[in-house]
Structure 1
Amino acid sequence: MARAVQINPRVLSWARETAGFAPEEAAAKLGLKSTAKATAVEKLLQAESGERPIGQGMLEKAAAIYRRPLVTFYLPQPPTRGERGEDFRTIAGAASPREDAILDALIRDIRTRQQLLREALIEDEDTTPLDFVASCRVADGAKAVASRIRKTLGVTTAEQRGARDPAALFSLLRTAAERAGIFVLLLGDLGSHHSDISEETFRGFALADDVAPFVVINDNDATPARSFTLMHELAHIWIGATGVSGPLRGAPANIVERFCNEVAGEFLLPPEALKPIAAAGAASFDLDSALSLTDDVARIWNVSQGVVTYRLLLNGWISNQVATAMFRAFADRWRAERQRAREAREPDETGPGYYIVRRSRLGAGLMDAVRRALQGEILTHTKAARILGVAPTAVDQLLRERPRAA
């Protein structure tokens, strides 16, 4: 029989809960088997309550499955909540405890990957700190900050409007951000659709670091919404505010979140974009008129109707009541479209290959940085795999081809 290890069993239950696993799911992943005396779930709960001893092998499995360092399980008490930076989300109760736990696990994972990449970049003699990180303040005003971001990215309003569609606009902006030294990832789970995080739980996360700044965008959100999220998170980086952001559902009370929304709106919808609405002449539009106007502007500028709605709200052209109804309608429409797409998918239909999807989610910037560090023998394959979120045996295949633009 395996020798039992001495740990505080409360740490074991804390690790499972903060990883977002129900007892049934965790018991299966840990390989526990039901017997005549106890089911697999009962065995797990007994271990978590201290009634059943736990062996070193099971502890090591738990560390891997719950994404915690092994040393964590030897702490005398469960640690405090994982560091998100500031939580800028303003919709209380929108997330389930499970999704909040998965979000914490995702952010811990991103922080670890970012730190490994940061260390590798610092070893590279060509790396210099990025002077735009934390170079602005809220007091500078949204227009000024949007202008500074545009200067760094080098993207013109003509290019925004000339993009083929919202996906092409996002690709344009993402490429420009990566060229500036910002790593932009599309992640909405822990590597499996079983751990999907709803766009209602989080829309984006920014890690404002002057060597390896990260932006994470929830790829469970609608494609037209991604450009706004990217620009919103870039505003966080420009003012040096690390944290997690929620969905666009109105004008938030949080000053930083409201400001970053305004910066994103200024960038994506310059004054010329709002001229058709101003020309309509109404002091305040009703729901039907506002829906029609936002649809027209959104199509022309390759953004979501939510972005246009937010600008109308800030300009006083629609009431809070109309804006709330519009945001609710957009959210309902997205959920319905996503459900229809799932139902229309053939049972044996296969999507893009693993490496194509992984490259798209990681982005060219991150993969190029890892590729250079490997070639310069700054990174080992093991650390490269950790940064990329793949097995060490998959690193070479993943980096073999440069990702194609969306």
Structure 2
Amino acid sequence: MTSRILVKPVMIRWAIETSKLSLAQVTELFPKLKQWLATECELSISEIQKLSKALQIPFGYLLLSQPPAEEPTLLKHRTINNLEHERASRDLLDTIYLMEAKQTFMRESLIDDGFLPHEFIGSVTLNDSPENVAKSICATLKLSTTWNLNDTSALGYLKRASSNAGILIMQNGIVGNNTHRCLDINEFRAFILLDEYAPLIFLNSRDSQHAKIFSLCHELAHIWLGESDFFNDHIQQENHYLNAKAEHFCNDVAAEMILPREQLISYYDPKLSNTDNITLLAKHFCASDLVICLRLKKLNLIKKREFEQLYPALVEKMRQNLALRDSSAGGNYYNTQLSRLDHNFIALVDQKAQEGKILYSEAYELLGAKGKTYDNLIQHLEEQLT
């Protein structure tokens, strides 16, 4: 006799809402769905497995009586135009859980090895000037004054500098190694998981190079603020104000890191149109036209009326470029994997496995590679570092 398990309609409804499928699409896949949503039904294990796979929900979740609370308290994610989404997608949530596991390992390892919390976390407030905060970040990361003037190496340079300062830098365009689960650039461009020992920044690698640089600088500013409490929902109205204020502040810090006021003014040519200035400045600094336009407005180099004409056109251009962007992994497998994981994290995982502090099965899970593939990944990292 086939085993059957009681599944509550509220769980199926929740699973559909957190998936990428519409109710009509799920109904087409499961003809009995209308009945399952109307009353408690006993489903076969096979039916639950198929539902779990289609909706990308863990099997066990469908057996719960109430939907789980799935809003990580230390999450702040950056979106296009800072738009807020009512609910995080399953792809975003699962990515967060993967990153939390890596962060927990890093935190516990650092504590066991006697490291102290980072002093820069929460070292500034919203009352500090963005210029001074930008200088503080650049000094801590030991960034040169020309760090972002090389378009081909600026992002890698910034990632390495951040990692060497003790900040985990991860990126991916899919959930784990699942090429069928692409991360939606319209949902998030980056997020942070704050922690005093192992702060983590995750970049959506489906984004453009310039946007990833800005996102990384933006999230670094959030780490310097250390204001995770701004994003809890205990005092919703006050937090909404603080959230908006923090976003503007971090945008200003990121802009100052990438486009320092004095340098930008020195390269700005008042004899040229602002459209030409934006084009020339984009070639000089590692920044998008959109960021430069916003920066020029902030410095009162673009008048309000002209800005209101330029800005929507640049936003549309950005969206078109992202839509055309081919973000498939491609290339060398090991280079792709190394680009996704913080290099200091990889090295520490392998070190702990060699020391017997963790099992190799744990190391395989943390790096998403096992057996010979794991060995080759470590070898490729060592070759890159030398």
User: Which letter maps to 2:137?
Assistant: I
Percent identity (aligned): 25
**What CA distance in whole angstroms lies between the structure 1 residues aligned with 2:57 and 2:288?**
38
1:139 is paired with a residue whose SS is: coil
CA distance in 1 between partners of 2:89 and 2:168 (Å): 24
Separation in 2, partners of 1:120, 1:301: 38
The Cα offsets for residues 200-246 of structure 1, whole Å up to 9 and x where unpaired, read as: 322211112112211111111111222111110111111113499xx
- Residue 33 of structure 1 aligns with which residue? none
Structure 1 360/60 Cα, relative in aligned 2: closer, same or farther at 3 Å? Answer: same
Structure-to-structure mapping, 1:350-361, within 5 angstroms: 351-361=330-340
AA paired with 1:8?
K
SS in 2 for 1:202: coil
Aligned pairs for 1:143-182 (under 5 A) are 143-161=131-149, 163=150, 165=151, 167-182=152-167
Distance in structure 2 (CA, Å) of the matches to 1:227 and 1:88: 13
Query: Structure 1's 394 and 227: CA in aligned 2 closer, same or farther, altered over 3 A?
Result: same
2:6 matched residue in structure 1:
6
Q: Does 1:311 align with 2:295?
A: yes
1:140-219 matches, within 5 Å, as: 140-161=128-149, 163=150, 165=151, 167-190=152-175, 191-192=177-178, 194-219=180-205
| Paired letter, 1:354 | Y
Going from structure 1 to structure 2, the CA distance change for 1:10 and 1:193 (only over 3 Å counts) comes to same
For 2:226, what is the secondary structure of its paired residue? coil
Contact 2:77/2:188, CA 8 A, preserved across alignment? no
1:112–1:363 Cα change, 3 Å:
closer
Using a 3 Å threshold, how does the CA distance of structure 1 residues 59 and 301 change in structure 2: closer, same or farther?
same
- Specify the SS of the correspondent of 1:140: coil
- CA deviation after TM superposition for structure 1 residue 399, in Å: 2.7
Quote the residue 1:374 is aligned against: 353
Aligned residue pairs, count: 371
- Cα pair distance change 1:92/1:223, threshold 3 Å: closer
Quick one: structure 1 residues 228 and 40, their matched pair in 2 at CA, closer, same or farther if it must change by over 3 Å?
closer
Q: Any conservation in 2 of the 1:95–1:200 contact (CA below 8 Å)?
A: no
Match of 2:213 in 1: 227
Tell me, in whole angstroms, the C-alpha distance in 2 between the residues paired with 1:397 and 1:16. 39
Distance change (3 Å), C-alpha of 1:300 and 1:206? same
Q: Is the 8 A contact 2:174 2:183 kept in 1?
A: yes
Match of 1:30 in 2: none
Q: 1:120 to 1:9 in 2, by over 3 A?
A: farther
Amino acid at match of 1:358: Q
Give SS of 1:294's match.
helix
Q: Are the counterparts in 2 of residues 4 and 55 from structure 1 also a CA contact under 8 Å?
A: yes
**Partners of 2:367 and 2:283 in 1: CA distance:** 35
Q: What SS does the aligned partner of 2:195 have?
A: coil
Give the equivalent residue in structure 2 for 1:119: 108
CA distance in 2, matches of 1:398, 1:21: 35
- In structure 2, distance between residues paired with 1:350 and 1:72: 30
1:325 is displaced (CA, Å) by: 4.2
Judge conservation of contact 1:182–1:365 (CA < 8 Å) in 2: no
Q: Is the 8 A contact 1:23 1:44 kept in 2?
A: no
Amino acid corresponding to residue 156 of structure 2 in structure 1: S
Shift in alpha-carbon separation, 1:40–1:203, aligned structure 2, 3 A: closer
**Residue 257 (structure 2) pairs with residue 271 (structure 1):** no
Structure 1 length-normalised TM: 0.77
Which residue among 64, 68, 79 is the counterpart of 1:79?
68
Q: Secondary structure at the match of 2:30?
A: helix
Cα distance, 1:126 vs structure 2? 4.2
Change in CA separation of 1:74 and 1:53 when aligned onto 2, cut-off 3 Å: closer
Match status 1:133 vs 2:113: no
Distance in 2, matches of 1:45 and 1:175, equals: 52
Contact 2:189 2:203 in 1 (8 A): yes
Paired residue for 2:235? none
Range 289-298 or range 86-95, more displaced: 86-95
For 1:284, the equivalent position in structure 2 comes to: none
* 1:259 corresponding residue in structure 2: 249
Give unmatched runs, 5+ long, in structure 2. 232-241
CA distance in structure 2 between the aligned counterparts of 1:367 and 1:308, rounded to whole angstroms? 35
Q: Residue 363 of structure 2 aligns to which amino acid in structure 1? A: A
d(CA) in 2 for partners of 1:120, 1:214 = 15
**Residue in structure 2 matching 1:42, options 28, 31, 47:** 31
Measure the CA separation in 2 of the matches of 1:88 and 1:210: 21
Structure 1 counterpart of 2:203, which letter? I
Amino acid paired to 1:127: F
**Partner residue of 2:239?**
none
